[in-house]
Amino acid sequence: MADVIDDLQVWLDENWDPELTVAQWWERLGLAGWSAPSLPEHAYGKGLSRTDANRVAETISDHGALGAPGGLGLLLAAPTIASHGSQEQIDRYVRAIVTGREAWCQLFSEPVAGSDLAGLQTKAERDGDEWIVNGQKVWTSGGQYADLGMLIARTNSDAPKHQGISYFAMAMHQPGVEIRPLKEMTGRALFNEVFMTDARVADDAVIGDRNNGWAVANSTLMFERAGLSSGSGHAATSAALPGTVAGHLDQRAGDFVSNQRSRGGGAQFRGAGRMLIELAKSQGVVDDPGIRQDLMRLHTIAEIGRYNNLRLKAEKARGGDIAGIGNIGKLSMSEMMRLQRDLGLRIIGPAGMLHAYEPDAKAALDAATGQPMNGFVTELALFAQAPPIYGGTDQVQRNIIGERVLGLPKEPGHDRTTPFNELPKNA
């Protein structure tokens, strides 16, 4: 790994220029394999482990260069297409992801198909060389910025529900696609609902063969759980947004470096832990035995996630794997979020009942309390209910570990053998 970091340092010395546009810089970074180094070499990567890829991201950040384009394209779409797509699809889609040219969203969940994702009812019907899509998706992160969507839709209602699904790369900027924001109790609107009415997608945009979408979607979910787990994710991703909608591609790359933020995976959680320690000191409660114990619990869970990452790296180096490690990491992340929520509110006390939803109100609240970190704590507390749900609920993770890792009996049911059009549907 030292040789890789040395090569990266030399490359950064020769190539980083803050006067480049974001698009120009990401073109260099992506085509050199540094945007997504965990991807295989034939998919614009370097075949590194996730841990080593995190070190690459940290090195780019430490150098003072703009980080790789973030978002679901790099996290989910690129590794999925690299695993299931043709080389033509990799060159068509993954190249535009690693260079930041196109942003992606995930069109999976539906109002009646969340935890039971295979019960989705969005339909895609063949029309020559295209498919016509009708249906509704919900909880679509970043849909308002996306150029393309990872769409799973039903293409055969006569097959059992898991066997009649196809996975598409669907253009979001077309007639028949409507995106509506969903405002959360934090005051933000990170998620959207998406309505598709006679939207169209080309047949050559099917990823992983027709009616094989459930297997492809499971790969996406695996990458999602690994990316959300407590010991993974990019240590530093770009403050600039990829794609054509946000308008960042033509701006100066150096202007985003000062706003570059640490986020994702274990680095984010360890950073929050350090912030809570400093907050406890400033509030005079760091000597409280209960708070000290929970700060140590938070640190311990984050360290276990880091060690699990190292275990996985060593196992993969031997040609093996650790069954269920992504699901375990996802559960760990949920536990950390709940612990951060409860611990943060205990540290700031009654001030935890105050929260502002607009920039002007936040500034006024910070001025009134003299504690600008309180807003971070209250927003974290409001948001903490989401991670145990998105990316697969905690209950789903436990079911997967029980059935696929421990070999426990599956829940009884006939939905895997009955044609989807014969199954009862929710109203």
Q: Which of 386, 359, 383 is nearest to 372 (CA)?
A: 359
Classify strands 148-154 and 165-171 as parallel, antiparallel or unpaired: antiparallel
CA atoms of 198 and 138, how far apart (whole Å): 18
Q: Where are the alpha helices (DSSP H) in 85-194?
A: 87-89, 95-98
Query: Which is the catalytic residue, given 125, 224, 315, 403?
Result: 224
Q: Which of 144, 42, 54, 130 is nearest to 94 (CA)?
A: 42
In degrees, rounded to 5, the angle at the alpha carbon of residue 120 between the alpha carbons of residues 117 and 122 is 145
How many other CB atoms sit within 10 Å of the CB of residue 280? 22
* 131 DSSP β-pair partners: 126, 201
The answer to whether 178 is a known catalytic residue is no
H/E stretch holding 26 reads: helix 22-31
Q: Which of 3, 26, 16 is nearest to 74 (CA)?
A: 26
Concatenated DSSP letters of 354-415: ----SHHHHHHHHHHHS-THHHHHHHHHHHTTSTTTTTS-HHHHHHHIIIIIS-PPPPP-ST
Query: Which pair of structure tokens corresponds to residue 146?
Result: 């996306």
Ramachandran sector of residue 153 (left: φ over 0; alpha: ψ -120 to 50; beta: rest) = beta
Q: Render the burial of 338-367: b for 16+ CB within 10 Å, e for the rest.
A: bbbbebbbbbbeebbeebbeeeeebeebee
- Rounded to 5 degrees, what are φ and ψ at 402? -65, -45
Classify strands 123-127 and 236-237 as parallel, antiparallel or unpaired: unpaired
Amino acid of residue 330: K
Instruction: Enumerate the active-site residues.
Output: 224
